Amino acid sequence: MDKPVILTIDDDPAVLQAIARDLRKQYGGRFRIMRADSGTSALDATQKLKLRGDTVALFLADQRMPNMSGVEFLEQASPIFPTAKRALLTAYADTDAAISAINDANLDYYLLKPWDPPEEKLYPVLDDLIADWKASFKPEFKGVKVISDRWSPDSHALRDFLSRNQIPYRWLDIESDPEAQQLISLSGEKVSQADHPCLPLVIQADGSKLTSPSVTELAQALGQTTEAAKPFYDLVIVGGGPAGLAAAVYGASEGLRTVMIEREAPGGQAGTSSRIENYLGFPVGLSGSDLARRAVTQAKRFGVEILTPQAGQSLRTENNYHFLTLSDGSEISSHALILALGVSWRRLNMPGIEQFTGAGVYYGAAQTEAAACTNEEVYVVGGANSAGQAAMYFSKFAKTVRILVRGESLTKSMSQYLIDQIDGTDNIEVLPFHSVVEAQGSEKLERILVKDSQTDEMKTFETNSLFIFIGATPSTDWLGDQVYRDQRGFICTGPDVDTSLGWPLERDRFLLETNVPGIFAVGDVRHNSIKRVASGVGEGSICVQFVHRHLANL
């Protein structure tokens, strides 16, 4: 952690140098000693420290300065760092002003000039002040801050990206957090209560700001890799879920120059899971984000290049080379390509859903939005494991979690261990034969209209939070006609490929190979795959062996 700051202010250069020297001698090992030659410059430095997430432990200001006195400075600086101790350096003639400031500016102490010897007249006083400050000190958050209102879809997209990419951040609600207004004011932005044109506002760890950035702009500002370092790779993997990550680890560990492209965040849909409890080797379970973090660390250790957020735009094959155009217009090529595209949450098609997506209606996003749902009523749509895992996670925050299921129970699509956990959780309620038919509200979700299919009764539930987990669809339209897919868009491999398409090579098609030699598909995007994390990891791992065999025959 960065050292807390002691800021001293004096307009006399000789005095400023002397006090800074004595402070550095006694406290330089534990604190960063900063100095300013005027109240105005000190206030500017204080604002910048706040934006960067630094901490001021002590202000030590000279009283008699032109334009802004020491007391005036402390009155303006104290709201920025309210826990910082405040001390005044005064001449004997200014003691009345110093005594008055104890009441008016919450001054903690005043010291008379000269302070020699500091061991007797300076350090004992400051030691006490610093000890008092340290006793209640809570470190400032050093990282990305996102300032917005809760119902901003743009803010939700940024926070979801940060959360899923495991970038530490803090969200400040403009409507309820005084610090949010303070940071906006310090950053120079103007925000009225009715209009927030600068939001979401992102303040980075160094204090720089991004006004209403896109996810890509935020990723680039944070140093995420979005552009490939090379034009050609032995192996290109499109998709960073469990299957793609496994392929990346095994490919790179076996000497292949490997790049992995992920449109959102490594971990894919599994990365959004709050708890995976049936993955081999983790008897107490682990979160999807933990699994993704471990896999990314492992992949990078073997030299995998990871591009995110980035996506495939189009694909063409010439001779033995596969050319992939990315969403930014750049192009990379390879001898082998693994499509580990995963799937996206299936969308509900009914009145109000699109209008409130990101403003009370969410697909997945349990870990991003859960804390904001504290003591509220949350509704989860879906009856598979992802819905059950989300409900269990929300139950730690929400007052009540209701799971809406179209069927008669959860048993057809949810693992028994999750059903047992849900049954044993007091604030989770399962409503079978219930389906959402409309989302209602003004600027945010305020209520949902639900139909009971057994009685045809229409029910209205007041809520600000609806989370949807109703299965998934593949995002494979960009592949065009080159790669053969089934009617639902899942990629066919091995014996599932239509035999009428022919095969140009003497060798047989490999088990996970598509109709195009050297292009493979693994994980949830593959036709008739087992939709489980372990099976995705297995397919990604064994696919690399087929890649090696393909490369050996070139």
How many angstroms separate the CA atoms of 161 and 548, rounded?
34
Token duo for residue 283: 């008897």
- Please, where in the chain does CATH 3.40.30.10 lie? 144-221
As its CATH architecture, domain 5-135 has 3-Layer(aba) Sandwich (3.40)
How many angstroms separate the CA atoms of 480 and 224, rounded?
29
Token duo for residue 521: 């598909």
Question: Cβ–Cβ contacts within 10 Å for residue 159, how many?
Answer: 21
Nearest CA to 18 out of 87, 126, 114 is that of: 114
Nearest CA to 492 out of 471, 470, 513, 462 is that of: 513
CB 92 within 8 A of CB 64: no
Q: Which amino acid is at 528?
A: N
Considering only the top CATH level, what class is 232-333+474-552? alpha beta
Fold of domain 353-472:
FAD/NAD(P)-binding domain (3.50.50)
Residue 52 CA: distances (Å) to CA of 109, 183, 393, 454:
28, 10, 32, 57
- List residues bridging with 468 in a β-sheet: 363, 381
What averages of pLDDT result for each successive group of 10 residues across the chain (554 residues)?
89 94 95 95 93 92 89 91 90 68 74 89 92 84 89 91 88 88 80 63 90 92 92 97 96 97 88 79 82 92 95 94 95 97 89 93 82 92 91 94 94 92 95 96 94 95 94 90 94 94 93 97 94 93 97 90
Residues 6+ apart with CB under 8 A from 17: none
DSSP string, 6-49: EEEE-S-HHHHHHHHHHHHHHHTTTSEEEEESSHHHHHHHHHHH
Altogether, the residues listed in the chain come to a count of: 554
Nearest CA to 423 out of 407, 440, 438, 411 is that of: 411
pLDDT at 193: 45
Q: Where are the beta strands (DSSP E) in 327-374?
A: 331-339, 344-345, 361-363
pLDDT at 471: 80
DSSP string, 245-282: HHHHHHHHHTT--EEEE-SS-TTGGGGG-S-B-SSTT-
CB 403 within 8 A of CB 425: no
pLDDT at 122: 93
Burial of residue 429 (number of CB atoms within 10 Å: 0-12, 13-18, 19+): middle
- Please, where in the chain does CATH 3.40.50.2300 lie? 5-135
The pLDDT tens digits of the residues spanning 38-82 come to 999 999 999 999 988 899 999 999 988 888 988 899 989 999 999
Would you give the DSSP letter of residue 171?
A: E
Helical segments of 122-195, H only: 123-135, 153-164, 178-187
Nearest CA to 243 out of 344, 341, 131 is that of: 341
Q: At 323, phi and psi to the nearest 5?
A: -110, 120
pLDDT at 315: 96
- Please, where in the chain does CATH 3.50.50.60 lie? 232-333+474-552, 353-472
Q: Where are the beta strands (DSSP E) in 63-143?
A: 85-90, 109-112
Considering only the top CATH level, what class is 144-221? alpha beta
